[in-house]
Structure 1
């Protein structure tokens, strides 16, 4: 959350249409993140705590993650991890991991000069073409088109 607020402050200082749109999107993301954290906390009062598993997956999202090992680490079966993960986040662990990867890729496309291939590698994709295909399917734009629309340098 602190990182999101820090980025928002930077965007609020720039008085351009792109900065305004970016700030609006960031505010929406902050609200969704806060709502999600609130839902997780409420559920943890009645269920096995899942926040540590979510945070573990977020921290390791750019690497290959063995969900069986993550489940074992938190003393649950893979099926229980998946069920609780969906209940807490609204998505299965692998979809969550992909969302974290794509969100980071979008940030990098908007603020860096790294090539699409370099960004794909940094967010955990070995194949830049596969990354571009997934990015386009999920975001509705190719990575290059996204960069052109959201450039913040």
Structure 2
């Protein structure tokens, strides 16, 4: 015996240009029928909340599925799966859109890893619940709400992976803490007992960019905060985020942000009628 509830959407081309468009959502549990073999032209995230079953990998291997788990179904890839004799509890979301390419490049969607162990499914289920709410036929903004919830779902699935700590990779956290120190990538790697190549692999897996880009993004973000919320000279801002040469910092800032630090302050400064802004809190300050 099994129970199935599902709704499907037909988003317009305009809605698909939002990046992600939801095509369908389903809640199922029990001794569900086997799926496939079949091939789809869009993505599906199948979240297994409880129970166990199997998944036939594209290379012919038959993999055991034990909840909590995520099954990725990607366009053009044949798939075949199903629950064991006792059944399982499953949610699925079908989606498409140009943002799937970027999410794949960032490692949120993993075509080469169709079966992903999870630590918990409460956050993904909450996102799926918002899609279910949007699926009410009288809901006038359903395509936009459902598409926004798919973005939320992909983030929650990334956070719920069993190989990622809830707050992200510890290496990324350590790099963020040391981001304003004048250290090379090799020196950062040595502090963690890693080779530079291993550090690059770990950071790219966790953040989607290399260590230099990751550290630069943190530095520029902090520089923007200091420019917008304090009256510190540009040279002091540069030193505060790890650059001893303010001219180099200004060139780098202008190249990456698209405007000079002084111009950014003019546009984003948060001064008050009573005087200049105060000092911005340091990262981590509540």
Report the equivalent of 1:42.
161
Report the equivalent of 1:130.
248
List alignment gaps of at least 5 residues for structure 1: 1-30
Report the equivalent of 1:25.
none
- Residues 117, 69 of structure 1: CA spacing in aligned structure 2 closer, same or farther, 3 A cutoff? closer
Please state how far the C-alpha of 1:86 moved relative to its aligned partner: 0.7
Please state how far the C-alpha of 1:74 moved relative to its aligned partner: 4.2
Please state how far the C-alpha of 1:65 moved relative to its aligned partner: 2.4
Q: Which has the higher strand share?
A: 2
Q: Contact conserved, 1:82 with 1:92, CA < 8 A, in 2? A: yes
Please state how far the C-alpha of 1:94 moved relative to its aligned partner: 1.3
Task: State the TM-score, normalized to the length of structure 1.
Answer: 0.66
C-alpha distance in structure 2 between counterparts of 1:110 and 1:65, whole Å: 26
Task: State the TM-score, normalized to the length of structure 2.
Answer: 0.37
Report the equivalent of 2:258.
140
Q: Contact conserved, 1:39 with 1:88, CA < 8 A, in 2? A: no
C-alpha distance in structure 1 between counterparts of 2:183 and 2:171, whole Å: 12
Q: Counterparts of 1:103-122 in structure 2 under 5 Å?
A: 103-122=221-240
Report the equivalent of 1:92.
210
C-alpha distance in structure 1 between counterparts of 2:162 and 2:180, whole Å: 27
Q: Counterparts of 1:3-82 in structure 2 under 5 Å?
A: 35=155, 39=158, 42=161, 44=163, 51-82=169-200
C-alpha distance in structure 2 between counterparts of 1:69 and 1:140, whole Å: 30
Residues paired across the two proteins, number: 117
Matched, 1:151 2:263: no
Q: Per-residue displacement from partner, 1:16-74 (whole Å, max 9, x unpaired)?
A: xxxxxxxxxxxxxxx99x93x863652725xxxx7111111100100022434543554
Q: Which has the higher contact order (CA 8 A, sep 6+)?
A: 1
For the aligned residue pairs, the C-alpha RMSD in angstroms reads 2.7
C-alpha distance in structure 1 between counterparts of 2:250 and 2:191, whole Å: 33
SS at match of 2:161: helix
Please state how far the C-alpha of 1:75 moved relative to its aligned partner: 4.7
- Residues 111, 101 of structure 1: CA spacing in aligned structure 2 closer, same or farther, 3 A cutoff? same
| Between 66-75 and 101-110, the greater mean CA deviation after superposition | 66-75
Please state how far the C-alpha of 1:84 moved relative to its aligned partner: 2.0
SS at match of 1:62: coil
